[in-house]
Amino acid sequence: MQQVAGLDLIQSFLIVAEELNFRRSAERMNLDQSALTRRIQKLEDSLGFKLLERTTREVTLTKAGQSFYQDNANLLSRYEQSVEGARRISDGKTGILRVAYMAFAATELMPLAVARFRQVHPHIDVALQYMRTQGQKLALANDEIDICYMIGPFDHSEYHTITLATDPLYVVTPKNHPFLRKLAIDPHDLANEDLILGDMREWGEYRWRLNDMFSSEGIPLRVALEASNTLALIGLVSAGLGITIYPESLIGFLGRNVEVRPIRHDAFNSRTILVWKRTNRDVQVRSFVEVAKHLPVRM
């Protein structure tokens, strides 16, 4: 009969308590009767009180032994359940991979990676959560999320990062906008344009980075309107109230009422990175990273 490592003294007692006979109990355990006697003696010595009263012909539980038995009869089974639960997690069988993404990864990078990952690991649930970059950083720090698609760069000693894409930025204009006469837009052409951008709550990190790009070129960022969601934003642009700026990854998803032109400048781009904690060496995280890195996606 297989014994649980480390719980053999308690397990021995539980069996003797049920049998009330050392020789029968020893038989059950494939052990010599004298070895069993010594195990019980060792347990009683370490506890400092008797669990069993015994003559050469009779074994009974003391009151303390009855209480100890009742309290611990389930100990073994609960320990085995804890082992099984941990094993399932270790095998990645019931684990959940928690992935957060922001808008720019939502159209292509994240869906392709998740689809491929599920093909390879059908038993792992992927829990997806839209989250702005700043919120992603908090969630990573608090171990609420395993892996994140965020706007980069992001350098921190506690995190691994991989750059997945560097997308050039495009202006999005209403139809019949003067920009449409050009094939590409110089950033200085934007100096006199009314811009419609997502508000800080919605765009956060991206707004900061746009500010940096315009400041670096000495171009004022004239924000005429702010919108709290993409549909409202595109609606305002198509109505002729201004233009907006989006990375290439979103261009195919903006509808038929607007036109786009690339911004011709190396610094005007948006980098999408994958981020996870250095301490999180979960096999599922490693697997997902490999899948995301090697997608057949144009760079």
Partner DNA sequence: CATATTGATGCATGATGTGCATCAAACGAT
Partner DNA sequence: ATCGTTTGATGCACATCATGCATCAATATG
Instruction: Name which of DNA, its own copies, none residue 274 binds, using a CB cut-off of 5 to 8 Å depending on partner kind.
Output: none
Instruction: Name which of its own copies, DNA, none residue 7 binds, using a CB cut-off of 5 to 8 Å depending on partner kind.
Output: its own copies
C-beta of 4 vs 241, nearer to its own copies: 4
Could you give the CA distance from residue 292 to residue 118 in angstroms, rounded to a whole number?
Answer: 12
Could you give the CA distance from residue 169 to residue 187 in angstroms, rounded to a whole number?
Answer: 10
Q: Residues 151, 273: contact at Cβ < 8 Å?
A: yes
C-beta of 17 vs 263, nearer to DNA: 17
C-beta of 40 vs 236, nearer to DNA: 40
Instruction: Name which of its own copies, DNA, none residue 72 binds, using a CB cut-off of 5 to 8 Å depending on partner kind.
Output: its own copies
Q: By rule CB under 8 A, what string of x and - marks binding of each residue 192-211 to its own copies?
A: --------------------
160 is a site residue for its own copies (CB under 8 A): no
Which runs of consecutive H residues, i.e. helices, occur in 107-239?
A: 109-120, 133-141, 200-203, 205-216, 230-238
5 is a site residue for its own copies (CB under 8 A): yes
Q: Which of 19, 71, 18, 7 is nearest to 43 (CA)?
A: 7
77 is a site residue for its own copies (CB under 8 A): no
8 is a site residue for its own copies (CB under 8 A): yes
What tokens were used for 283? 């096999």
Question: Which residues from 14-53 bind DNA, rule CB under 7 A?
Answer: 21-24, 30-35, 37-42
Could you give the CA distance from residue 118 to residue 263 in angstroms, rounded to a whole number?
Answer: 36
Q: Closest distance between its own copies and the C-beta of residue 31, in Å? A: 15
Q: Which of 269, 271, 275 is nearest to 292 (CA)?
A: 275
287 is a site residue for DNA (CB under 7 A): no
41 is a site residue for its own copies (CB under 8 A): no
Could you give the CA distance from residue 245 to residue 260 in angstroms, rounded to a whole number?
Answer: 9
